Each structure stands twice: as C-alpha cells, then as structure tokens.
C-alpha cells in the first residue's frame, strides 16, 4: 500500500478538476505538477494551498522572479529535494539566469553559515536593531 498516490485529472472529482483547471489557466500549462496531484487526495487542502500560493506569488511590491528566488533559497535551506527541483524550474521560467542562480546559492550558503556563527558566539542583538 503506497503512502501516497497521485490523482490524475480523468479520475478527479469536480472540485479537484476546478482547482486543476485554475492552475493550468493561471500558469498557462497543459498539466499540473505532481505536487498538486498528490495534494488532490485532500480536496480542501488542495484548494486552500493553491489559493494561498496564487495570492502570495502574484506580482506585488516584489516581482515574481524575486519571489521564486526567495522560495528557492528557503527550499535549499530546508533540503526539500522536490521543492528545489520545481522552484529552480519555476525561477528559470520567470527569468533567473545562470548568474542569478549562482548568486542565490552563494547568498543562501553564506546566510546558513553566519546564522550558525551568530548562534555559536552567542552574539547579543545590537541595541539599534531592536
């Protein structure tokens, strides 16, 4: 018994199909990613997650490319292999060049290093930052 199985469009309920249709229309793609096909096992979770992602990733004070690079940096920090693969692809689609990718990785690596140096040296917060 698999811990998780995927729901394809053809076998999906009308509620799930409605979300899939909105994802495909919003992103102008022919099919949704595996992530959404797995979440479809729980239609309420699927819908809530998609509505939140759509709202959070829409252009705002930050452009979609910047948002995707932040998403990637978090996914790399957490070591989520699926998320690193899918958000690297999404960031590239949004315009991330090879040079930008390298700089996202360099900043992410450096932040993870200095986060631990600040922890280990038990650095108190400067009064001007409080």
Residues 51-70 that bind a copy of itself (CB under 8 A): 52-53, 55-57, 60-62, 66-67, 69-70
Instruction: Find the distance separating the first CA and the last CA of the chain, reported in whole Å.
Output: 52
Is residue 75 within the footprint of a copy of itself (CB under 8 A)?
yes
Is residue 81 within the footprint of a copy of itself (CB under 8 A)?
yes
- How many separate helices (H) and strands (E) can be counted in the chain? 6, 0
CB of 101 to a copy of itself, least distance (A): 8
Is residue 71 within the footprint of a copy of itself (CB under 8 A)?
yes
Residue 112: strand, helix, or coil = helix
Out of 4, 10, 14, 28, name the contact with a copy of itself by CB under 8 A.
4
CB of 12 to a copy of itself, least distance (A): 16
Is residue 77 within the footprint of a copy of itself (CB under 8 A)?
yes
Question: Residues 92-121: x/- map of binding to a copy of itself (CB under 8 A)?
Answer: x----xxxx-xxxxxxxxxxxxxxxxxxxx
Residue from 75, 74, 67 nearest 94 by CA: 67
What's the burial of 68, exposed, middle or buried (CB within 10 Å: 0-12/13-18/19+)?
A: buried
* Cβ atoms < 10 Å from Cβ of 62: 13
């Amino acid at each position: 018994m698999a811990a998780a199985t995927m729901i394809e469009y053809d076998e999906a309920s009308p509620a799930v199909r409605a979300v899939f249709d909105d994802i495909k229309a919003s992103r102008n793609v022919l099919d949704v990613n595996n992530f959404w096909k797995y979440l479809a096992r729980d239609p309420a979770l699927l819908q809530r997650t998609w509505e939140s992602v759509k709202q959070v990733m829409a252009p705002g004070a930050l452009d979609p490319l910047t948002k995707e690079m932040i998403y990637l940096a978090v996914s790399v920090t957490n070591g989520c292999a699926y998320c690193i693969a899918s958000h690297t692809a999404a960031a590239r689609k949004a315009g991330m060049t090879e040079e930008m990718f390298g700089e996202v990785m360099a900043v992410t690596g450096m932040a993870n290093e200095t986060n631990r140096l600040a922890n280990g040296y038990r650095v108190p917060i400067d009064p001007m930052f409080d």
